Structure 1
Amino acid sequence: MRVLLVEDDALLGAGLERGLEALGMNVAWAREAASAFRLLQSEPFDAVVLDLGLPQEDGMHALRRWRAEGLVLPVLILTARDALSERIAGLDEGADDYVVKPAPLEEIAARLRALVRRGEGRARSFIDLGRLRLDTAGHAVWFDGAPVELSAMEYRLLERLARNPGRVFTKIQLEQALYEAEEAPDSNVLQVLIHHLRRKIDPAIIDTIRGLGYRLGPAAQGAAP
């Protein structure tokens, strides 16, 4: 399990990193919200452990912003703030669990495993972004409530982007997602698939980020008209 730890306290962060890794987790440690968000955009994670008392940007504000940006990963708040109002606010802002420090490492790890199991269950059913909806079990797609017929490779590309809204993928990363290990990617197929998705769904369904790659576009999110 790949976990992003967001904790500004050096001593506590180092202890959590070592402890969770000793329990079999792969941990990346960020000390403030901005660097954490950069990691979320560039690397795959299964869950986030988030402190609230962060420098520059409070963890609660960061969580609200990340959810607005489309972050769907499970987030466990780990904080010294133990007031009932804080716990309610954290869950209402999008946290999947709220744990008050100090807490046993074994309990934190168990809660993370439970969150990831629940997240995997959701991922196997539907990805609902507002205007765009995917049934990942049946490989079906709807846009503004209307079904969209896609080829297998068109669907595979769209699902990869929809599972990580806001993340920019390079051309190589998307080609690796489209082909099996033994297959050689066609140099032109990615551009053709993107063209097809824009034509079948919406011209703004995929953004081209010049010099970087591609990400799910703004047409996917928001309320259907």
Structure 2
Amino acid sequence: MGASGSARPAPFLRIAQLLRDRVTSGMWSVGDQLPSRAALSAEFGVGDNVVRRAQEALIEEGLLEGRAGSGTFVRAPRERRVLRRTVSGTTSPAPAGFTGTWEARSIAKVPAGPETAFRLGIGDDGMCVLTTYEFFTDSRPVLLATSWEPMAVTGGSAVVLPEGGPLAGAGVITRMRHLGIAITRVVEVPRPIRLNRDQAHLLGLATGAQATFIERTHYADGRAVETADWVVPSELWDITYTIAAPPPGT
């Protein structure tokens, strides 16, 4: 015999609604810090894991935000921005038109590994400079990127570190031009993903939130001289591509 009546919602959904009601009623205002997870668990008579899932659901919804080491807060609406994908005017590691700041960390002589080696056309044990980037607007992280450059291309030069030397922060195209290497094409492959725990932690978003993963590679003729992974949170960015039209008569 089938069960009668409607199924009860999952416990975390009930707690999420109770938290949502406190925000929409004005009990909690923008910028307010929520009570600790332990306090909410005791108040609602549920486990910590139920409160965590409820908070993560509201973070993904955009109502709350998690701040590393600080707790969970009622979030102010975050401005949605346009991420323009074009190689024109690319004179920094930031996307065209980006007006924020960034932090970077480079490590030299890192083995490429199979996937990166395939993209760069080098051996798995080929040495690279690995650089990780966090991009910020209004002091909040909004983009992540990881770049690999073969040591065979930049090693021993003044521009071996993307964020060091005389062309620190100048971008791939400008730095390669310094070495007499002309970038002839840039290939990007976008894919939908959901943020893993580390990515979500860095961006202050919920684990599993939607994002676009962009695999980008710079080529000089047929040789790959840099490849990078971009993580673009869907709730913060609209991605637009500028594609040059062919000359008239072609």
The TM-score normalised by the length of structure 1 is 0.23
Q: Relative CO higher for 1 or 2, CA cutoff 8 Å, sep ≥ 6?
A: 2
Instruction: Name which one, 1 or 2, has greater alpha-carbon Rg.
Output: 2
Determine which structure has the larger helix proportion and give its number.
1
